[in-house]
């Protein structure tokens, strides 16, 4: 692995840890996948799994320095789809635009667009319309306390 | 970390991978936790998580060279209890007696005995009465095909 690749990899893991911490703080049981060997792609596990009272959310994490179309290899989508299917849950691409205070965005794999090469992509447009962490909470049926309604309403 | 400790650690990971493979083969969505740094105990994650259609099973893995009383630090039990609670699932100590063709055994944390020091243990007796992988399948509501009934009955 080149120095640059090693650096990207460390950064990617740091982002996954951020997402795990965030989801844990909101009440989910949450786990990051183990790092695979440096030469082996992580082909079995999703990057992150979050569970709340029987509802499972499965994530492939993508990081970008800027808002742009994000491409996802077909195998990665198939991997999280299979995992989510067994778990009876839902699979998402989790996108973090770094260094701009941007929140996490989540795209259900059913909303991914196809590329001509048989892979998948998140267009700029669907990135703008992506789900937020609050949307995920609604999906699993979490209800927040009164302070959240007040905070949201005023 | 000493050479001996590093060896034990590698062996423990190999056992966790075995358990993940086994559960995956039986139909579960299953994930191993990332290795923590060599000096840091794995305090956040369970060793292994398995999910099937909304039912979550959470494991702390213990390996022993022989059948004996197995001791579990209180923090480890609390860790998997909290994870299982959030997930709406159940937590188990997964025990593998190595090198004797022994199957995996699973003890629900509710069945653990207390030690005088405030920790937990699996006695030899409860190890003998532990659950099998088939029991776990029944717990999550998996039903097997006809060949399994024939295999079990004849």
CB contact under 8 A, A86 and B51: yes
Give tens-digit pLDDT for B100-119.
788 999 999 999 999 999 99
Query: Which residue of A57, A87, A139, A141 to mutate against B (max B Cβ within 10 Å)?
Result: A87
* In contact, A82 and A51? CB cutoff 8 Å: no
End-to-end CA, chain A: 51
The model's pTM is: 0.89
Q: pLDDT (tens digit, 9 = 90+) per residue, B32-65?
A: 998 755 444 455 789 999 999 999 999 999 998 8
Please check the confidence at residue B71 and state whether its pLDDT lies above 60: yes
- Topology of the domain covering B3-143: Trna Endonuclease; Chain: A, domain 1 (3.40.1350)
Query: Which chain B residues contact residue A78 at CB under 8 A?
Result: none
By the 8 A CB rule, do B51 and B29 touch?
yes
pLDDT tens per residue across span A4-44: 888 888 888 889 999 999 999 999 999 999 875 544 445 57
Beta bridge partners of A94: A61, A106
**Between A and B, how many residue pairs show a Cβ–Cβ distance under 8 A?**
81
CA atoms of B92 and B70, how far apart (whole Å): 13
B87, B91, B137: best mutation site toward chain A, by most A Cβ within 10 Å?
Answer: B87
Place of tokens 């995920």: A136
- The residues of B annotated as belonging to the active site are 36
Q: Which CATH number fits domain A3-141: 3.30.70.1070, 3.40.1350.10, 3.50.50.60, 3.40.50.11890?
A: 3.40.1350.10
Domain ranges of chain A: 3-141
């Amino acid at each position: 692995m080149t120095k640059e690749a090693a650096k990207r990899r460390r950064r990617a893991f740091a982002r996954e840890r951020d997402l795990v911490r965030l989801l844990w703080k909101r009440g989910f049981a949450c786990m990051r996948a183990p790092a695979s060997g440096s030469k082996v792609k992580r082909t079995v596990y999703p990057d992150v799994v979050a569970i709340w009272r029987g509802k499972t959310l499965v994530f492939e994490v993508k990081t970008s320095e800027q808002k742009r179309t994000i491409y996802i290899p077909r195998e990665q989508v198939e991997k999280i789809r299979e995992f989510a299917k067994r778990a009876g849950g839902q699979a998402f691409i989790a996108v973090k635009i770094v260094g701009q205070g941007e929140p996490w965005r989540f795209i259900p794999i059913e909303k991914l667009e196809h590329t001509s090469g048989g892979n998948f992509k998140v267009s700029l447009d669907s990135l703008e319309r992506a789900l937020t962490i609050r949307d995920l909470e609604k999906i699993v049926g979490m209800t927040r306390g009164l302070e959240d309604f007040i905070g949201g309403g005023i």
